[in-house]
């Protein structure tokens, strides 16, 4: 079998397991079963020190920023995130490079054969799911390739998540809001309880003040376990307009005589480890300031654990962070409109996007390309974002969980914005470009898979 066929077969077998969120809790692995699988692989998760990041929004941005800082510090750094924009390989990286197809096929084969043997021997009740398989592949890949430190994004929740088999150097909890209620609970407090499951007795926890219910749950868990709480507040800059410490570039600052002149970046200064550094990041939006702050605070804690992190490597790592699809701007060119690509798959993400659009494009004509998974709060997201737009093109990604046009239309019945149907993302992009014209802005948002397909259609590399 050729390498390409092996890779394609591995991907097909992964998707045949079904998506994590299509499975009922009764057939989901628990942490004990995950440890059985990893034990048969000689516990790769114990051979690589790791940081565990849980939360509802901002996990990926925080993880990507922290991984970039650690790479800039000279550490061979693994990064495990989910979901992906275009292909599974994006989820598993070493020093920013995605796992290649042949390695993915190889490590999949090892984990898959091991899983089948354990099921056959009665040591596992059923075959691991998509996410458990991928997590085991990541651990094995990192261990075999001598990763010195790994940054791991929790897939969903925390307490029972497949990543929660490690003893993290630092546990990080990003902003918590309602999402995945059918798995995690119906209240902020219940969801926070699941996220706080990554905290260890006597461990280090980096977080920020947020919803009072989440604060209470996290704070009580820290006290119960005797953990050390570290606040990232000192690294969040002022947000008042006109402050020298805070800057978000907007559309008007991207052009000179109709030409793109710069890549949009947030810029400000903070004191880190006794030295003032210049923070410059391509992660745009006030919400991203919180995610960068979490990464800075975590890096500082790792420095206390004798990892070679310094103010200079923190500054350089933040500047070099690349995290696609998060308020990513493609400037207008050749008569085409400007594009904004942003994953806003839940109400909290939609509010963050709305805030940044209102800051950077307050006087612009917006056309929205939108698609979502049907298990998301489509109606609430629509009510937040659709009123900003002159028109909405509803579409769907090539994913069986994608909401149909009729489902989106029904969910957004209380919104008066005109909504058109488009059968696929590429077609939606063409229609949106026509409606926006050269002076308008096309905003692609909703599902990460819609954003990924749109970026592909626009010729952007993920």
| pLDDT tens for each residue of 160-207 | 899 999 999 999 999 987 654 555 556 888 889 889 999 999 999 999
Half-sphere exposure of 100 (CA within 13 A, CB side): 5
- Can you give the pLDDT at residue 255? 42
What is the average per-residue pLDDT within 230-251?
A: 69
CA–CA dist 111, 265 (Å, integer): 41
Q: pLDDT for 319-370, tens place per residue?
A: 999 999 999 988 888 888 999 999 998 898 999 999 889 888 888 899 999 9
Residue-averaged pLDDT of the chain: 88
Has residue 462 got a pLDDT over 60? yes
| Residue 233: Cβ within 10 Å count | 12
pLDDT, residue 238, reads: 73
pLDDT digit string, tens, across residues 367-426: 999 999 988 889 999 999 999 999 999 999 988 889 999 999 999 889 889 899 999 999
pLDDT confidence bin for 298, thresholds 50/70/90: very high
* pLDDT given at position 177: 78
For residue 251, is pLDDT > 60? no
pTM for this predicted structure: 0.91
The pLDDT assigned to 21 comes to 46
Model confidence at 40: pLDDT above 90 = yes
Distances (CA, A) of 82 to 86, 149, 155, 171, 247: 11, 18, 6, 17, 29
Residue 256 has pLDDT above 60, yes or no: no
Placement of tokens 């060119």 in the chain:
333
Give residue 108's pLDDT band: very low, low, confident or very high (50, 70, 90): very high
Report the share of the chain in percent with pLDDT over 70: 89
Domains of the chain: 3-237+265-319 (3.40.1190.10), 328-457 (3.90.190.20)
Report pLDDT for 185: 54
pLDDT category of residue 29 using cuts at 50, 70 and 90: low
CA distance linking residue 171 with residue 66, whole number of Å: 13
> 245: helix, coil or strand?
coil
């Amino acid at each position: 079998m050729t390498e390409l066929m092996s890779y394609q077969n591995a991907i097909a077998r992964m998707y045949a397991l079904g998506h994590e969120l299509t499975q009922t809790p009764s057939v989901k692995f628990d942490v004990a079963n995950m440890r059985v699988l990893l034990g048969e692989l000689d516990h790769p998760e114990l051979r690589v020190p790791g940081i565990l990041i849980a939360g509802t929004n901002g996990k990926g941005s925080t993880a990507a920023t922290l991984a970039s800082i650690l790479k800039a510090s000279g550490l061979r750094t693994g990064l495990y995130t989910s979901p992906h924009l275009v292909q599974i390989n994006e989820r598993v990286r070493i020093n920013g490079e995605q796992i290649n197809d042949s390695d993915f096929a190889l490590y999949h084969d090892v984990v898959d054969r091991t899983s089948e043997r354990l099921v056959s021997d009665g040591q596992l009740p059923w075959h691991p799911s998509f996410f458990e398989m991928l997590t085991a592949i990541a651990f094995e890949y990192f261990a075999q390739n001598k990763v010195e430190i790994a940054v791991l994004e929790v897939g969903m929740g925390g307490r029972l998540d497949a990543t929660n088999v490690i003893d993290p150097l630092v546990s990080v909890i990003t902003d918590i809001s309602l999402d995945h209620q059918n798995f995690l609970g119906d209240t902020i407090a219940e969801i926070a309880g699941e996220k706080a499951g990554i905290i260890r007795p006597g461990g280090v926890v980096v977080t920020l003040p947020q919803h009072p219910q989440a604060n209470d749950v996290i704070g009580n868990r820290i006290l119960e376990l005797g953990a050390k709480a570290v606040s990232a507040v000192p690294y969040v800059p002022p947000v008042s307009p006109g402050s020298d410490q805070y800057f978000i570039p907007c559309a008007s600052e991207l052009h000179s005589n109709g030409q793109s002149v710069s890549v949009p970046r947030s810029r400000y200064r903070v004191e880190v480890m006794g030295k003032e550094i210049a923070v410059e990041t391509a992660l745009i939006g006030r919400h991203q300031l919180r995610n960068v702050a979490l990464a800075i605070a975590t890096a500082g804690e790792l420095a206390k654990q004798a990892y070679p992190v310094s103010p200079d490597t923190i500054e350089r790592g933040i500047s070099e962070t690349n995290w696609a699809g998060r308020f990513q701007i493609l400037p207008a060119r050749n008569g085409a409109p400007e594009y904004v690509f942003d994953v806003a798959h839940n109400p909290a993400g939609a509010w963050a996007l709305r805030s940044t659009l209102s800051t950077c494009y307050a006087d612009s004509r917006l056309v929205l390309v939108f698609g979502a998974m049907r298990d998301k709060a489509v109606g609430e997201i629509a009510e937040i974002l659709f009123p900003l737009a002159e028109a909405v093109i509803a579409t769907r990604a090539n994913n069986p969980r994608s909401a149909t046009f009729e489902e989106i239309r029904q969910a957004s019945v209380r919104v008066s914005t005109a909504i058109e149907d488009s059968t696929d993302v590429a077609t939606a992009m063409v229609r949106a470009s026509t409606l926006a014209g050269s002076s308008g802005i096309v905003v692609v948002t909703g599902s990460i898979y819609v954003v990924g397909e749109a970026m592909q259609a626009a010729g952007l590399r993920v």
